[in-house]
Amino acid sequence: MIKVKLKELMWDFEVTAKEISQKTGISENTLTHIKNKKHVNIELDTVDKLCRFFNCRIQDLLEFHKD
């Protein structure tokens, strides 16, 4: 299972979905969906934009857990 750690990054950086949306072009609805859902499909372009925004590595945003 892959866990998306967007909520944790937002908390650490003290940033809102609106702020991320304004700087990345990712819609607030998409960000809210990614942040709150356990199972979500994320386009690689979105992952790229989020990693650039947070200046982080993919593994800081996505975490793999063996079932």
Q: How far apart are CA 67 and CA 53, in angstroms?
A: 30
User: What ranges make up the beta strands (E) of the chain?
Assistant: 2-4, 62-64
pLDDT in tens, 21-50: 999 999 999 999 999 886 688 999 999 999
pLDDT above 70 covers a percentage of the chain that reads 97
Its sign, for the CA torsion 17, 12, 8, 48, is positive
**Domain formed by 2-64, architecture:** Orthogonal Bundle (1.10)
Residue 67 has pLDDT above 80, yes or no: no
Q: How far apart are CA 42 and CA 4, in angstroms?
A: 9
For the chain, the domains span 2-64
Residue 63 has pLDDT above 90, yes or no: yes
With beta carbons less than 8 A apart as the criterion, state whether 1 and 67 touch. Answer: yes
